[in-house]
Each structure stands twice: as structure tokens, then as C-alpha cells.
Amino acid sequence: MYTVAEENYIKSIYHLQRQQQNVSTNALSARLQTRPASVTDMLKKLEAKKLLTYEKYYGCRLTAAGSRLALNIIRRHRLWEYFLSEKLGFGWEEVHEIAEQLEHVQSTALTEKLDAFLGFPRFDPHGDPIPDGTGKMSQQWQLPLCEWPVDKPGLVSAVGSQDERLLEMLSQKKLHIGAVVVVVQQFAFDRSLEIRLEDGCLVHISEQLGKFIFIKKQ
Amino acid sequence: MYTVAEENYIKSIYHLQRQQQNVSTNALSARLQTRPASVTDMLKKLEAKKLLTYEKYYGCRLTAAGSRLALNIIRRHRLWEYFLSEKLGFGWEEVHEIAEQLEHVQSTALTEKLDAFLGFPRFDPHGDPIPDGTGKMSQQWQLPLCEWPVDKPGLVSAVGSQDERLLEMLSQKKLHIGAVVVVVQQFAFDRSLEIRLEDGCLVHISEQLGKFIFIKKQ
DNA sequence: GGAAAAATTTAGCCAAAACTAAAAAATAAT
DNA sequence: ATTATTTTTTAGTTTTGGCTAAATTTTTCC
């Protein structure tokens, strides 16, 4: 299969490709914290393996095979993040670093069984969509409530966890899927939120909770 | 911290040390499937890191620090094996290879939280004891029931899991800790077992169940 | 359009962890 | 107690994935 270094390159290229259509050597160098010269070397290797096309001085793009691999790595990463946060009780700031290691464990069976064990979650604790086994993922643009802009109405589209304590809290605050909400203000002290529901009710939401409620455009 | 290669050496030396008191270059070479010359190189490196003492031509022994590291790696390995088998539903033959990768994920917090999530299990699916955070582990020689010799009386000494469905089944079959059992026969077809209890009752045990009941000598 | 700046590549080097072939030490056998 | 055999080490290479310094190409700016 592929080495950890190769997988990290592919993953980074995938993410950068969403902003620039051709990923430059320097952009990769900055993201991976390696020198441009090393990036050039690796791009040649990855081109030889047909994971990307590379044109001297003009950067690279993933091939279909490269994108497939990238989505698979992202799938592993986000499933582990979900596991760490949901099952082991890690805070969402802590999960990324550990998932960076776990994502490189090679075993298709492991990924599939983990997915099933977690109940086929569609979003990780940061609100990013988790690709399915074929690489498809929910494309809807959405953000956790705590990052949603003030005064812009939005729709509750998903929750990041099925924890019953979370679900209980949501139902008590009348925050069901499909509810329309407006963030009235964010308090600087603890980054908690005041939001207004359709019926005009004002509800106070901790930052912690706001991370698990996902909002999309109406 | 330590590299994957270093961790694998330390783990192998720990296991070999239980048979020979000084671990020879050749023994390590055979176990790790690397050439003796490579082993010599690595032993020098590990000695420099004070994980073992090494005397030219006479093999090596782990230092206290080396043993501590070895037990920590074994702890990680067996906790993951338990997770894979108990939570993800892998068969016990499949878990070893995947755990070989997972054991090298570096994060003390991960190990501790995983341990807690699993309910602090004391034995892995193969019946091997899982060291605790300080390196202590149950030293009793014991085997899963499904590997216990026929006609040899044994004592139920531990169960490999606290799963309540398992515990329910055990109490129904009157297989409490301390019970004396004799394996009457093992059926070749599904490797299930017929065992006799103290009161003469015959009980039928699936292989699946037999893996989670540990037996030691009377 | 040509000079300066920025980006990228080439060339040569390093460390980790493996390898082979040959030398040296330890062990076994006559 | 020598010799033969086995084990281990030394010396020199390879591959992977980094690095620096210098050269080259592209881009930008007057």
C-alpha cells in the first residue's frame, strides 16, 4: 500500500485543491512544513505511482485514483475523530492530533467495522462530512452553530452525535432538525451564544453544545 | 518518543527474555525477520538510549526503562485486541495483525481512555493478561476454556469481558469464578465444547463463549 | 521588453533502518 | 588442543524522506 508520508501528501493536496485548482509546490511546502525541494521529489514519486499529474513549475492535480485515496484517508481520519470524541470522551480540540496517527492504520475491514460500530455517522465532531465507503459525502455547506455568523438565519441540519444527553438537551431547548435559528450574539467571555427561535424565544447555548449543532443556509 | 522499529525490537526482546535470560542476536533476527547484521546495529542504538544492556557476542537484556516500555507497548497491543474483538466483532485470529499497527499510536491519554472505555479488561481475547498503567499484570498461567486440555480438571479464574450478555450466560450455565470444570470433549465441526461441572451436570459451550472463560490449574 | 523578485528544480548530502559480503569471535567436535 | 562450525560483528550499499545551496524558470514591476 502507501507510506504515511505519501498519504499525508495526498491528503494535503486534496484539501488545497479545493482552493487552487493547481496545487503549487510552495503551498504544499507550507502546509506540510517541509522544504519545497523535498516536495518536488515527492511529487515525482507520486506521479510515477499515478496518484497525480505533475507539470514542472506548474504544480499538480490528483488523478481519479489519487482522489479516491484521499477520500479514503479522510474517511478514516474523521471516523477516528468521531470515535475519540463520542466513545472515548475526548474534547474536539484533542482528537485531531491522535486521528492523524490512527488514520494511517491499513485495514479496510477495520474501517468498515468501525463505521458500523459508530452507527455510520455522517459528520465528525468538527462538523465535517465523513465520506462513505465509495467516497461519497454530504456536500451541503454547513457549520457548527458556534461558528455561524450573527444575525444570519439558518436551518438546524444535523447533530454531531447521538449521545442521549445531547439529544435530551436539544429537545428541551426545542432545537429539532429543521428548526430555523438566528444567532443574536456571542459572549466574548465564554464564547457561549444567545439564539432566537422561530417563535421568538431566546435560548442560551454553551460553546460546547454549539459545536454539536450544525446549521446550513435556508 | 520511539520509532515503530525501536518499539518492535523492545517488544520482541521482552518476549524472548522469558525463555532465554540473555537474548541473542540470532533469536531476534529470526523473530523479527531481519538479518543479524541489522539487529546488531539496532542493539547498539537501543543501548545508547539506555533501553537495554548489550555485550558484544553475548546478547542483550532490557533495563528497567526498557521493560517499562515493553509492558506499555504490550498494554496498548492487548487493549486494541480486546477492542477489535469485543467492540468491533473481529474474530480472534484477525485482531493480532491490526493491533500490531494500532499499538504504535503514541498518546498516553488515548491508552488510558481506551482502557476505561473497555471497562479495564484484565485479559485479551487470546487469554493473555493486559498490563495496567504501571506495568503490573496478572501472572497466573491460564488458558481460554476452548484451549484447555480434555479431561484435565481446571478452575474458572477469570472472564475476558464484562459484557452483561456474557455474564448473564455464565450465571445461567453456573460458570462462576472458582467453579471446577472438566472438558469432556470438543466437537470437531464447530469446535464447541462439552464440559462437566462439579455436580456432574453436562454443559455445552460454543467456541465463541469458550474464548472468554479463562481456566487455571487447581 | 528587460531587470528584479519569487517560485521551483537540480545536485549533493544526511539519518534511519534495512541489506550483502567478508572478517572475527565463540562454540563444538574430533 | 586444534580444527571446523556457528554466531556475531564490521564495512560498505540501498531506499525513503528529509535537508541546504545553487541554478533555473516563471512572474512581476517599471
For residues A87 and A16, give the distance between their C-alpha atoms in angstroms, rounded to a whole number.
31
B88–A102: do the CB atoms touch at under 8 Å?
no
Nearest to B205 by CA among B164, B147, B162: B147
Please report the pLDDT score of residue B140 as a whole number.
67
**What 8-state DSSP symbol labels residue A84?**
I
Please report the pLDDT score of residue B97 as a whole number.
95
The protein residues having a beta carbon less than 7 Å from any atom of strand C are A 24-27, 29, 36-37, 39-41, 43-44, 54, 56-57, 59; B 3-6, 33-35, 37-38, 41-42, 45, 57-58
Please report the pLDDT score of residue A140 as a whole number.
67
Mean pLDDT computed over every residue of chain A? 92
Nearest to A105 by CA among B53, B22, B161, B4: B4
The number of beta carbons lying within 10 Å of the beta carbon of residue A3 is: 10
The answer to whether some atom of strand D lies closer than 7 Å to the beta carbon of A6 is yes
Please report the pLDDT score of residue B149 as a whole number.
82
**What 8-state DSSP symbol labels residue A87?**
I
Please report the pLDDT score of residue A57 as a whole number.
96
Closest residue to C21 (CA, C1′): B37
Please report the pLDDT score of residue B24 as a whole number.
97
Q: What are phi and psi of A181, to 5 degrees?
A: -130, 155
Instruction: Fill in the amino acid letter for A217.
Output: K
Confidence of residue A56 (pLDDT cuts 50, 70, 90): very high
A98–B110: do the CB atoms touch at under 8 Å?
yes
Mean pLDDT of the A77-92 span: 93
From residues 21-60 of B, list those within 7 angstroms of strand D by Cβ: 24-27, 29, 36-37, 39-41, 43-44, 54, 56-57, 59
pLDDT in tens, A118-146: 999 988 877 788 999 999 987 767 788 98
Please report the pLDDT score of residue B14 as a whole number.
98
Closest residue in B to A100 (Cα) is B105
| B107 chain-A contacts, CB cut-off 8 A | 97-98, 101
B110 Cβ under 8 Å from any chain A Cβ: yes
Cell 482552493 belongs to which residue?
A19
Task: Give, for B180, the enclosing helix (H) or strand (E).
Answer: strand B180-186
Per DSSP, the three-state class of B199 is coil
For chain A, how far is it from start to end, CA to CA, in angstroms? 43
For residues A109 and B152, give the distance between their C-alpha atoms in angstroms, rounded to a whole number.
38
For residues A10 and A45, give the distance between their C-alpha atoms in angstroms, rounded to a whole number.
12
| A94 chain-B contacts, CB cut-off 8 A | 109
- Which of B105, B114, B117 to mutate against chain A (most A CBs within 10 Å)? B105
User: Would strands A154-159 and A180-186 be described as parallel, antiparallel, or unpaired?
Assistant: antiparallel
For residues A87 and A118, give the distance between their C-alpha atoms in angstroms, rounded to a whole number.
8
Please report the pLDDT score of residue B51 as a whole number.
98
Please report the pLDDT score of residue B19 as a whole number.
87
CA distances (Å), origin B177, targets B74, B141, B155, B214: 26, 16, 8, 9
Per DSSP, the three-state class of B181 is strand
pLDDT > 80? residue A218: no
Mean pLDDT of the A3-29 span: 96
Asked if residue B74 lies in contact with residue B102, where contact means CB atoms within 8 angstroms, the answer is: no
Please report the pLDDT score of residue B125 as a whole number.
74
Please report the pLDDT score of residue A92 as a whole number.
74
Residues of chain B with pLDDT under 50: none
| Strands of B24-94, DSSP E | 52-54, 60-62
Order across the sheet with A213-216: list the strands: A142-144, A213-216, A154-159, A180-186, A193-197, A202-205
Please report the pLDDT score of residue A41 as a whole number.
97
Nearest to B114 by CA among A211, A79, A98, A93: A98
B90–A102: do the CB atoms touch at under 8 Å?
no
Mean pLDDT of the A18-38 span: 95
The number of beta carbons lying within 10 Å of the beta carbon of residue B1 is: 8
In terms of phi and psi (left: phi > 0; alpha: psi -120 to 50; beta: otherwise), the region of B165 is alpha
CA dihedral A123, A197, A188, A191 (to 10 degrees): -30
Mean pLDDT of the A163-186 span: 88
To 10 degrees, what angle do helices A25-32 and A36-48 make?
110
